[in-house]
Structure 1
Amino acid sequence: MDYDRVREVDPSVADALDGELDRQRETLMMIASENHVSEAVMEAQSSELTNKYAEGYPGERYYGGCEYADDVEGLAIDRAKELWGAEYVNVQPHSGSQANMGVYLAVLDPGDKILSLDLTHGGHLSHGHPKNFAGQVYEVENYEADPETGYIDYEALADHAEAFEPDMIVSGYSAYPREVEWERIQDTAESVGAYHLADIAHITGLVAAGIHPSPVGITDFVTGSTHKTIRSGRGGIIMSSDEHADAIDSAIIPGMQGGPLMHNIAGKAVGFGEALDPEFEAYAQQVVDNAAALGDRLAEHGLSLVSGGTDTHLVLVDLRDSHPDTTGKEVEEALEEAGIVLNANTVPGETRSPFVASGIRAGTPGLTTRGFDEDACQEVADCIARVVDAPDDESVREEVAADVDALTDRHPLYE
């Protein structure tokens, strides 16, 4: 991969791009929301479609010259419908957060009530954090995961919904390592007359492959990101029944966006096509198997896992039992120096600021894309545990960095 044309025009940007490529090659991507897309997806995303305005929808554009934009968006929609079994799909949201915004705008009024998982328990900013648009426009209350078990307390959620009477319940999470019981939450939503939005941003690929239960056809709305476990063009997606198609289409444009990013939609189309290959199911299963192996080995090292393990692509470690004086931020920074990139994360019952946090979140999608198996992920867990035990020890970081170099050499990226 080269940036010769960029270098001719802007050497500073070319240097940054080269540096980023080297960084991804030489470190372990373990942020649970990140992945390595294929070179085909990247090529599509850098295509001439970046030049094209295509406001509107296929066959109903505000501009001329959209025949190929229509072809690409149609492919993305059709492939998404096949992947997730959805009746209606909108592939225009620029991100998962904007997909959520589109659903809110489609069926809620300002001041309506949203019930969602607390951010510190694994929810997402766009589910109603007070600093986010959702928290500023709507009245939001939160349910929680049980601090003792780490699991969603579905009975407490139902009791909260009965008392609060929300207009929408949001499920699907950014730091929850267990399968979600969509039907139970849907039953609760129906009992209080609320819509139910399932945000599968993190698990789009696992759901598409049948590795995680699907909310499609169960919940009223499904949103997600298209660049995490699904490895497609960067952006968001909304799925629903045809009943809500017009309202969602109108909410996206003219409600909250202008021209769609057609080059990103091209990446989505290519990535969705790749995910329809039978090999993708094996990939998704390996992601989950790798996360389980990673978590099991971390537990063997005495680290406490939220909920005791994982069913998904991520492991959430609570440092408070084993390392009460160590923050997630300290571990994050020490691991990055050693070449392992993950993030500090809050945990159920969090007492620290989210900027320092008491936990770390580690994901396996990127490692799996590089070809890591369970044994390799156990080696990674050994490296993480050594740094957690001595985050201030430079010699430990150097030793782990050498092990990371060996792992990246065994599993090259973009060669």
Structure 2
Amino acid sequence: MSALHDTDPQLASLVDAERRRQFDVLRLIPSENYVSPAVLAATGTVLTNKYSEGYPHRRYYEGQQVIDQVEDLANERARQLFGVEHANVQPYSGSPANLAVYLAFLAPGDPVLAMGLPAGGHLTHGAPPSATGRWFDAVHYGVRRDTGRIDLDEVRDLARSHRPKLIICGGTAIPRTIDFAAFGEIAREVGAILLADIAHIAGLVVGGAHPSPVGHADVISTTTHKTLRGPRGAMLMSTAEHAKALDKAVFPGLQGGPHNHTTAAIAVALREAAQPDFAQYAHQIVANAQALATALTDRGYRLVSGGTDNHLLLVDLTNKGVTGKVAAKALDAAGVELNFNTVPFDPRRPFDPSGIRLGTPAITTRGLAPQHMPQVAEWIDRTVRAAADGDESGYADTAAQVREFLADFPIFGETA
């Protein structure tokens, strides 16, 4: 940081402030995490100086002798870690990765079947505001009102009725195990490509804490951060049969040169995820989430689907007399970072919904364990009740308690 402080002290002070903030608050947004010093170091290397349009050993620019080795290494580690035949680490993020799947296999107007955004799907799964909803004929499945879980009979009926060319499973607010085998059977029955979007659960998959889509899905997309604990990037994986179509869709279909510094950081994260202690980490994420679910349920909170099988909890605050947005803002002031979120069948609008979404990847990285979850739930409950009463007086005190508590949980050994 010394060069940044010397060159641009104003920006350096903002980076320092964000570093301090990340140390001092309970980070419960399920799509966020802390990267290791090695991942952080790789992200800031001189590899950012190099343009590399094309693929290893088939580039449009010269001087790729080292970059080709970096990308080959990342691809090979992805193939080995996930057990797939083909991997592409070039997508800039999860949304372009998903767009590449559409480009590879569909034409505008083709039918797509995916989970609806209000039920826990993603914008790129054919949601109306997204290009995928505007350019393709998207049909959406949801969850049952009585269980909060996917109704696979409904998925099968919709697939038979609409004959989609692409079926997508996975999403951004799904607290339960995804039945990849069942989705695979449905896709094969109607002749559809199955895309498993595992952006949220990739770390759980490689850590053995969630079933793998390999062998069931034709294509797998994932981000490389979240539970995988890498840099902000993405990957596409597939059988060998679909490798050429996917690669052409990424480049030259959607992108130019890959971000080589991110590719290097992905390679580091994949190596870290292949170590035995990462499996322990993945299972601890789930144990923490389930302990937090129990602690919140004991305090009268309504969890969508009644609990969680993974890293994520979706909480309906209707019975607490406060909206998700008001609660999320209050919790942020109290040192507890999460996000407001739509819940299935939510009568409120998306920017002011009934629910909150929270998860345990980041706090697990810091070393919190199931025995700490009742305290986390107490801070959440205290703040939500105060927000419902319009009483902001205790937020600063709660934030101070959180800060003092987290001082004993350094980030990868680094103290405040």
Shorter-chain TM-score category? over 0.9
Partner of 1:346: 342
> Do structure 1's residue 187 and structure 2's residue 185 form an aligned pair?
yes
Which residue does the alignment assign to 1:405? 403
1:355 aligns with 2:354: no
1:96 is matched with: 94
Partner of residue 48, structure 1: 46
Q: Which residue of 1 aligns with 2:2?
A: 4
Alignment of 1:128-167 (within 5 A): 128-167=126-165
Deviation of the 1:242 alpha carbon:
0.6
Counterpart CA distance in 2 for 1:95 and 1:310 is 26
Residue 342 (structure 1) shift: 0.3
2:235 alignment partner in structure 1: 237
In the alignment, what sits opposite 1:337?
Answer: 333
Secondary structure of the 1:130 match is coil
**Residue 333 (structure 1) shift:** 0.1
CA distance in 1, matches of 2:145, 2:363: 29
Aligned positions of 1:272-283 closer than 5 A: 272-283=270-281
> How far did residue 128 of structure 1 move?
1.0
Picking from 71, 74, 99, the partner of 2:72 is 74
Separation of aligned partners in 2, 1:98 and 1:169: 17
- After TM superposition, list the pairs within 5 Å mapping 1:13-412 onto structure 2: 13-320=11-318, 322-323=319-320, 325-391=321-387, 392-412=390-410
Q: CA deviation at 1:184?
A: 1.0
SS of equivalent residue, structure 2 residue 278 = helix
**Counterpart Cα distance in 1 of 2:153 and 2:398:** 44
Aligned-pair distance for 1:366? Answer: 0.3
* Offset, 1:233: 2.1
- CA RMSD of superposed structures (Å): 1.0
- What is the CA distance between 1:352 and its match in structure 2? 0.5
CA contact (8 A) 1:306 1:318 kept: yes
CA contact (8 A) 2:203 2:227 kept: yes
Structure 2 counterpart SS, 1:311? coil
Match of 1:218, as an amino acid?
A: H
Superposition misfits of 4+ residues, deviation over 6 angstroms? none
Describe the SS at the equivalent of 1:395. Answer: coil
- Give the distance between the partners of 1:95 and 1:253, measured in 2 at CA: 14
- Distance, in Å, in 2 between the alignment partners of 1:30 and 1:268 is 23
Q: Contact 2:198–2:222 at 8 Å: present in 1 too? A: yes
Q: Per-residue deviation at 1:7? A: 2.1
> Structure 1: any 5+ residue segments left out of the alignment?
none
Distance 1:390 1:163 in 2: 49
Cα distance in structure 2, aligned partners of 1:42 and 1:16: 17
SS state of the match for residue 125, structure 1?
coil
Identity %: 47
In structure 2, list runs of 5 or more residues that go unmatched. none
Per-residue deviation at 1:217? 1.8
Number of aligned residue pairs: 411
After the TM superposition, which of the residue ranges 180-189 and 390-399 deviates more from structure 2? Answer: 390-399
User: What's the secondary structure of 2:394's corresponding residue?
Assistant: helix
Distance 1:137 1:409 in 2: 49
Q: Distance in 1 between matches of 2:123 and 2:24?
A: 31
- Note if contact 1:233-1:266 (Cα within 8 Å) is conserved in structure 2: no
Q: Deviations over 1:156-197 (max 9, x none)?
A: 111111112211111011101000111111111122221110
State the one-letter code of the partner of 1:279: D
Q: Which amino acid aligns with 2:73?
A: L
Q: Tell me the SS of whatever aligns to 1:126.
A: coil
1-structure distance, mates of 2:303, 2:156: 26
Any idea what the Cα deviations from partners look like across 1:190-236, whole Å, max 9, x if unmatched? 22221110100000000011110000121111100001101112211
Q: In the TM superposition, what whole-angstrom CA distance separates every residue of 1:383-404 from its partner, at most 9, and x where no partner exists?
A: 1011111213223323321221
Rounded to whole Å, the distance in 2 between the matches of 1:380 and 1:133 is 39
CA offset digits 1:253-300 (Å, max 9, x no partner):
100000000100100000100111100000000000000011100000
Deviates more, 1:374-383 or 1:252-261: 374-383
Q: CA deviation at 1:4?
A: 2.1
Deviation at 1:368, TM superposition (A): 0.5
TM-score by length of 2: 0.97
Maintained 8 Å contact 2:331/2:383: yes
Distance 1:407 1:269 in 2: 33
CA distance in 2, matches of 1:304, 1:65: 57
- 8 Å Cα contact 1:305/1:318 also seen in 2: yes
